[in-house]
A and B are shown apart, each in its own frame.
Chain A
């Protein structure tokens, strides 16, 4: 392996994120090696989506910093790819499957330029990988849930990135799509890519992921699945509600307190 791959894919230092001043993630510290399929698990409201959005700079951080391949996010944008939650967009938008997958080429095409023929070829190629080439001209409002997810996946693939962030790609998809997706993810990690997946279904964690991040507004554990995905950690993640922490968060919001004191 090239020495480059010794560099961690993702490093998170003392990351805190707040919505409307209410902290939803507290002091997260973690490191993810390259070439792994990583699952982020935790109960509803644990901050799973928030974590990946914060890492990608979609949300602003209250404190801490993140590094990807030991560089700051803005220097490696072309190496990251994002699959948002399926419900986060309006599927009644006037666009075809091809239009959506072409978006995956936008960072390569650059601002204010039109997609070229080569971009269409690349998009079609990615549609083939997810078994959707027959749907290229289909209106996106006519897709089933699984097909929508495959379309998003094809868009992410079209970016040819090195690290992929996926928000619940398995939510509400049929068994065939789930299988297609997991096989694709395995191919990707075999090729040295890193895939970080927000995941809901605890049953499949051991089968799907090499590495697991267990989250409940704070980091419970992060490490290889074998050692980390234990009864004890599960209990800590899903069991006792951190009522005191939640109460303090609410208090900060109500009283309009700054998340961090300003440094002089």
Chain B
């Protein structure tokens, strides 16, 4: 508890640097990453992350010290160069973009590692800490780093704010953007520069290897929760910021724990949770929806059988034994029992001992299903000219699915026909 108070009071300047630095770069990478994600170019971030390493080494060789500004400029140059190479290779050879990205990524990274090794062996004392760019070391952030971060993060935020509409259009429909005369090339260039910038500051916290995660994962997680692009950007940055904060806190409480990897673990957990729990798009909600559909189909089928039996006896409310229903439609006895019990709780059937009968509401519900089934069969035979012996299976699904509007339309189009293709009466409710 004490550590929590100490951490969130931000009284220690080191904590301030680490927290502010981590939050700034995770949040701003997430915002830029949202557009990379929507452009379906998630891999590009990974390529840039690997390609900035030689630039950082070059920057160090030129400056002789770890001046953050020089390193950022170096990283920016080779990050950009890698993209130019990817585009050139894709356009001029028959190599596809994914292959080009793979090639460029490893070649640039290889050169970077080579330079890094040479620098480390050179005996220059100020080189220590350069390898932080490989795996990241947010805990080592200092005041001067923070200024660089602040500047870059503000650039990202301001540019995205100003060009939001343009970036969104580009991601949705590039050909249309060209047709209305938007400077598509320039806009793409700006967006790419933003990605490079985000990567360049991001790798100082999480390192080359994990950079793609903080660029793309927040956006991927946010997509599960919303269908509005503005909300998505805010959510992504909130997820990013939260992971940055948690990463910093965890490594504060347990100093042996590295910040960067924890940032990635937290953001991945958020993505994982979103994947399962998000309403509508989440896996669990999809499963529940499927289960509900399955139950509705079972419910309505049993009601339908009881209704058809009632039609034969000219009395819909005769109590029936399970076997009577099973003779009409195959069910395992326990399954049928479960369905009937569910229908009982809904009030669609009534139970007397081991006998079951339709309630008034159950009869009406069943009647609607039967009506739609027969109307659909009629529709298929009259309008689609499908043979009467082929239409039953189709109608079996449609009868559970049709909305009241479509039901009314169907009735109208068929002129409230009296008989279905098998010459059975179509039951209307009044």
Are the C-beta atoms of A84 and B175 separated by less than 8 Å? yes
Is A1's CB within 8 Å of the partner chain B? no
Binds A, one of B24-32, B146-154, B224-232: B224-232
In whole angstroms, how far apart are the Cα atoms of A89 and B180 in the complex?
Answer: 16
Are the C-beta atoms of B176 and A103 separated by less than 8 Å? yes
Pick the residue among B165, B169, B176, B228 that contacts A82 (CB under 8 A): B176
**Which chain B residue has the least Cβ–Cβ distance from A256?**
B92
Are the C-beta atoms of A77 and B180 separated by less than 8 Å? yes
Name the interface residues of A70-113: CB closer than 8 Å to any CB of B.
Answer: 74, 77-78, 80-82, 84, 88-90, 93-96, 99-100, 103, 106-107, 109, 111-113
- A126-167 interface mask toward B, CB cutoff 8 Å, 1 = contact, 0 = none? 000000000000010100000000000001000100000100
- B385-399 interface mask toward A, CB cutoff 8 Å, 1 = contact, 0 = none? 000000000000000
- A30-68 interface mask toward B, CB cutoff 8 Å, 1 = contact, 0 = none? 000000000000000000000001001110000000000
CB distance from B313 to the nearest CB of A (A): 43
In whole angstroms, how far apart are the Cα atoms of A12 and B168 in the complex?
Answer: 33
Contact residue range for chain B? 20 to 34
Pick the residue among A94, A114, A155 that contacts B223 (CB under 8 A): A94
Task: Contacts A94-B227, A139-B227 given; indicate if A82 touches B179 (C-beta within 8 A).
Answer: yes
Is B61's CB within 8 Å of the partner chain A? no
Are the C-beta atoms of B180 and A94 separated by less than 8 Å? no
Q: What residues of A have a CB within 8 angstroms of the CB of B428 in the complex?
A: none
**Which chain B residue has the least Cβ–Cβ distance from A73?**
B181
Pick the residue among B94, B176, B183, B228 that contacts A94 (CB under 8 A): B228
Are the C-beta atoms of B223 and A58 separated by less than 8 Å? no
Task: Contacts A89-B172, A93-B172 given; indicate if A111 touches B178 (C-beta within 8 A).
Answer: no
Are the C-beta atoms of A93 and B171 separated by less than 8 Å? yes
CB distance from A185 to the nearest CB of B (A): 18
Q: What residues of A have a CB within 8 angstroms of the CB of B163 in the complex?
A: 112
**Which chain A residue has the least Cβ–Cβ distance from B232?**
A94
Task: Contacts A95-B229, A112-B166 given; indicate if A107 touches B180 (C-beta within 8 A).
Answer: yes
- B271-306 interface mask toward A, CB cutoff 8 Å, 1 = contact, 0 = none? 000000000000000000000000000000000000
Task: Contacts A94-B227, A95-B229 given; indicate if A107 touches B181 (C-beta within 8 A).
Answer: yes
In whole angstroms, how far apart are the Cα atoms of A117 and B181 in the complex?
Answer: 23
Task: Contacts A106-B180, A111-B166 given; indicate if A93 touches B175 (C-beta within 8 A).
Answer: no
**Which chain A residue has the least Cβ–Cβ distance from B233?**
A94
Are the C-beta atoms of A111 and B182 separated by less than 8 Å? yes
Q: What residues of A have a CB within 8 angstroms of the CB of B226 in the complex?
A: 94
Q: What residues of A have a CB within 8 angstroms of the CB of B181 in the complex?
A: 74, 77-78, 107
CB distance from A192 to the nearest CB of B (A): 21
CB distance from A255 to the nearest CB of B (A): 13
Is B38's CB within 8 Å of the partner chain A? yes
Pick the residue among A89, A96, A155 that contacts B228 (CB under 8 A): A96
Name the interface residues of B168-217: CB closer than 8 Å to any CB of A.
Answer: 168-169, 171-173, 175-176, 178-183
**Which chain B residue has the least Cβ–Cβ distance from A142?**
B227
CB distance from B182 to the nearest CB of A (A): 7
Q: What residues of A have a CB within 8 angstroms of the CB of B175 in the complex?
A: 53, 58, 82, 84, 88
Q: What residues of B have a CB within 8 angstroms of the CB of A100 in the complex?
A: 172
Are the C-beta atoms of B165 and A106 separated by less than 8 Å? yes
In whole angstroms, how far apart are the Cα atoms of A31 and B226 in the complex?
Answer: 48
**Which chain B residue has the least Cβ–Cβ distance from A80?**
B179
Q: What residues of A have a CB within 8 angstroms of the CB of B179 in the complex?
A: 56-58, 77, 80-82, 165
CB distance from B194 to the nearest CB of A (A): 15
Are the C-beta atoms of A90 and B172 separated by less than 8 Å? yes
Are the C-beta atoms of A57 and B180 separated by less than 8 Å? no
Are the C-beta atoms of B178 and A57 separated by less than 8 Å? yes
Q: What residues of B have a CB within 8 angstroms of the CB of A159 in the complex?
A: 180
CB distance from A84 to the nearest CB of B (A): 5
Are the C-beta atoms of A95 and B180 separated by less than 8 Å? no
Q: What residues of A have a CB within 8 angstroms of the CB of B228 in the complex?
A: 94-96
Q: What residues of B have a CB within 8 angstroms of the CB of A90 in the complex?
A: 40, 172
CB distance from A77 to the nearest CB of B (A): 4
B: residues with CB less than 8 A from A are 38, 40, 94, 162-163, 165-166, 168-169, 171-173, 175-176, 178-183, 223, 226-229, 232
Interchain Cβ contacts under 8 Å between A and B, 23 examples: A20-B94, A56-B178, A58-B175, A58-B178, A58-B179, A74-B181, A82-B176, A82-B179, A93-B38, A94-B38, A94-B226, A95-B172, A96-B227, A99-B229, A103-B169, A103-B176, A106-B165, A107-B180, A111-B166, A111-B183, A112-B166, A113-B165, A114-B165
A: residues with CB less than 8 A from B are 20, 53, 56-58, 74, 77-78, 80-82, 84, 88-90, 93-96, 99-100, 103, 106-107, 109, 111-115, 139, 141, 155, 159, 165
Q: Which 7 A-B pairs have the closest CB atoms?
A: A82-B179, A77-B181, A107-B180, A139-B227, A94-B229, A58-B178, A89-B173
